[in-house]
Amino acid sequence: MLQNLNLTKIFAIMLTISFSFFFSNCSYSVEPDEILQDKKQESRAREISKNIRCMVCQNQSIDDSNAPLAKDLRVLIRNKIKEGNKDEEIYNFLTERYGDFILLKPPFKLITIALWCLPFIFFIIGIFILFFHNKKSKKTFKDI
Amino acid sequence: MKKKLLIVPSILFLSILLVFFYLLLIDRNPSEIPSALLGKNVPKFETDSLLKDEKFISYEKFKNEIILVNFFATWCKPCRDEHVYIKRFSDKKKVKIIGINYKDNPKKAINWLKKLGNPYTDIALDKNGKIAIDWGVYGIPETFLVSSNGIIKYRHVGPITKKIYNEINLLINKTN
């Protein structure tokens, strides 16, 4: 009985920890004065910001990062949206200056073909290997 | 046949290891990113000049001469460290140095230059960091080499060290 209680306690603690991690991921660095009045425009800005790498922190998006440059770029994106720029125009503006590296998701290009296609190729090779291996092992099993 | 096939994964594994070791051992900085502006024209901008009582208009400045563009600020410690090398460049006749004062207090910048010496022929003020974004700058100090026809030939992120100084010197001699 006592042991059971301890287990539920441990389980509860683990659950709280994992939940707090889950929710801590939802915190963003957007400051109140940056937020646009128009909710549609703001959500567009958030969506773009999530795809733009913070060049200072490099593994964070500008939506997560509180580096000064990330803030500058967040404000720049919002200004461009207010001026009526399309999403594509904003992405182009940024890649012209900072290169494809500023996109967290590398674009599908001739030089990134291997990057995008190799996982699928390996997956197919893996299936083939599994398939043939199974066939062979079945045969040996019958022989026995 | 079967045994021969077994060698293939180990060879693959070894070659991957070799690639990893090679990348570990060569002298490179993985956080350094090649500029998207290399081989392109200098971004156009117009702002105030720190030292002169006039506007700084980029297309008037970037022509007929090789120019070293240096983004700096007084609050940036590495900028102070590289200042010695910037001054050394200013002794050369083949190159002109233009400074871009990034998000700084103009008064502090003037005092800073008085104290350390001024290697710049002109300094553009980038109060809100917009010019830096146009140049793809993400961490000052950053230095660019611009050819006499206004094309960006080289970019270095971080302070100029002796090694980088020599590298830029060689490039200046090659550039027209």
Give the pLDDT confidence of A47-88 residue by residue, as tens digits. Answer: 999 999 998 888 899 998 889 999 999 999 999 999 999 999
Inter-residue contact B116 to B97 (CB < 8 Å)? no
Q: Which pLDDT does position A24 carry in this prediction?
A: 58
DSSP-derived 3-state class of residue B152: strand
Determine, for residues A101 and B33 on separate chains, whether the beta-carbon distance falls below 8 Å.
Answer: yes
pTM over 0.95: no
Please report residues of A whose CB lies closer than 8 A to that of B37: 97
Q: Which pLDDT does position A36 carry in this prediction?
A: 86
* H or E stretch covering B87: helix B77-90
Please report residues of A whose CB lies closer than 8 A to that of B136: 97-99
Q: Which pLDDT does position A4 carry in this prediction?
A: 63
Report the residue of chain B nearest A73, measured CA to CA. Answer: B133
Inter-residue contact A69 to A54 (CB < 8 Å)? yes
Please report residues of A whose CB lies closer than 8 A to that of B135: 97
CATH architecture of A2-107: Orthogonal Bundle (1.10)
In whole angstroms, how far apart are CA A59 and each of A15, A65, A139, B76, B138?
A: 27, 9, 50, 23, 14
Percent over 90 (pLDDT), chain B? 60
Kindly report the nearest CA distance between residue A40 and chain B, in angstroms: 26
Determine, for residues A97 and B135 on separate chains, whether the beta-carbon distance falls below 8 Å.
Answer: yes
Question: Which residue in A65, A97, A137 has the most chain B C-beta atoms within 10 A of its own C-beta, making it the best mutation to test that interface?
Answer: A97
Q: What are chain B's domains? A: 41-174 (3.40.30.10)
Please report residues of A whose CB lies closer than 8 A to that of B34: 99
Location of structure tokens 């208009």 = B57
- Please list the rounded mean pLDDT of every run of 10 residues in chain B (176 residues): 77 93 81 81 90 83 88 94 93 90 93 92 92 91 92 92 92 85
B31, B103, B136: residue with CB nearest A98:
B136
Q: Which pLDDT does position A142 carry in this prediction?
A: 60
Average pLDDT, chain A: 85
Q: Which pLDDT does position B69 carry in this prediction?
A: 94
pLDDT at position A117 over 70: yes
Q: Which pLDDT does position B70 carry in this prediction?
A: 95
* H or E stretch covering A38: none
* H or E stretch covering B144: strand B142-146
B31, B36, B139: residue with CB nearest A97:
B36
Q: Which pLDDT does position B140 carry in this prediction?
A: 87
Please report residues of A whose CB lies closer than 8 A to that of B138: 55-56, 69, 98
Pairing of strands B66-72, B142-146: antiparallel
ipTM above 0.90, yes or no: no
In whole angstroms, how far apart are CA B92 and each of B27, B87, B98, B169, B170?
A: 29, 9, 14, 10, 13
The length of chain A is 144
pLDDT band with cut points at 50, 70 and 90 for residue A20: confident
DSSP line for A42-79 = HHHHHHHHHHBBPTTTSSSBTTT---HHHHHHHHHHHH
**What is the C-alpha to C-alpha distance for residues B155 and A95, in angstroms, rounded to an integer?**
17
Pairing of strands B152-157, B46-48: unpaired
What is the identity of the amino acid at B148? S
Pairing of strands B152-157, B142-146: antiparallel
- For residue B43, which of B56, B59, B54 has the smallest C-alpha distance? B59
Report the residue of chain A nearest B30, measured CA to CA. Answer: A58
Kindly report the nearest CA distance between residue A122 and chain B, in angstroms: 13
Q: Which pLDDT does position A56 carry in this prediction?
A: 87
Torsion, Cα A118 A48 A94 A32, to 10 degrees, reads -140
Angle at A20 between CA A17 and CA A22, to 5 degrees: 110
Q: By mean pLDDT, which of A25-29, A136-140, B109-113, B151-155 is the weakest?
A: A25-29
Radius of gyration of chain B (CA): 21
**What is the C-alpha to C-alpha distance for residues B93 and B66, in angstroms, rounded to an integer?**
10
